[in-house]
């Protein structure tokens, strides 16, 4: 293989490793995904004694009962969740990704500006990039 083709192949492999984790794979790789302003129920196999959220501004965890945790996305970003049993052993130690529900967004392009609207149920501006009028 020529140096040029080898370099091109190496670049493709490097780019593939830098791409974001798709939603379907996020759970397989130890990332709990929750959408902004939405709740997700986590069922545990044994009772939880202590709940620790790395950044409570990103996500919140509420104990519904000894084996059920409700995880709520508060703001966009990542944090972590640690659940301990009565002996101090980790039941869960996972990263949390809080993101927008892409199925309910609309993107508006005007020249070089882009606006993302979150429409659940009314459309509100989520993000704006590029030039502004």
- This prediction's pTM: 0.60
Q: 2 in helix, strand or coil?
A: coil
Cross-strand bridge partners of residue 61:
71
Q: Is the pLDDT of residue 62 over 80?
A: yes
Confidence bin at 108 (pLDDT 50/70/90): confident
Confidence bin at 104 (pLDDT 50/70/90): low
Q: How many helices (H) and strands (E) does the chain have?
A: 2, 10
pLDDT digits (tens, 9 = 90+) for 18-42: 333 334 334 446 789 998 888 999 9
**From the candidate CATH numbers 2.60.40.1080, 1.10.150.20, 1.10.10.10, 2.40.50.140, the one assigned to the domain spanning 22-99:** 2.60.40.1080
Q: 13 in helix, strand or coil?
A: helix
CB 119 within 8 A of CB 102: no
Mean pLDDT value across residues 38-66 = 94
């Amino acid at each position: 293989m020529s140096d040029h083709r080898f370099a091109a192949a190496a670049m493709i492999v490097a780019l593939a490793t830098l791409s974001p984790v798709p939603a379907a794979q996020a759970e397989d790789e130890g990332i709990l995904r929750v959408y902004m302003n939405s709740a997700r129920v986590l069922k545990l196999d044994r009772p939880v004694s202590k709940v620790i959220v790395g950044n409570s501004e990103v996500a919140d965890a509420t104990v519904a009962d000894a084996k059920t945790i409700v995880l709520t996305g508060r703001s966009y970003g990542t944090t972590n969740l640690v659940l301990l049993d009565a002996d101090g052993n980790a039941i869960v130690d996972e990263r949390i990704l809080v993101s927008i529900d892409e199925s309910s967004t609309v993107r508006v392009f005007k020249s070089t500006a882009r606006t993302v609207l979150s429409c659940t149920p009314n459309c509100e501006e989520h993000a704006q990039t590029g030039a502004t009028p």
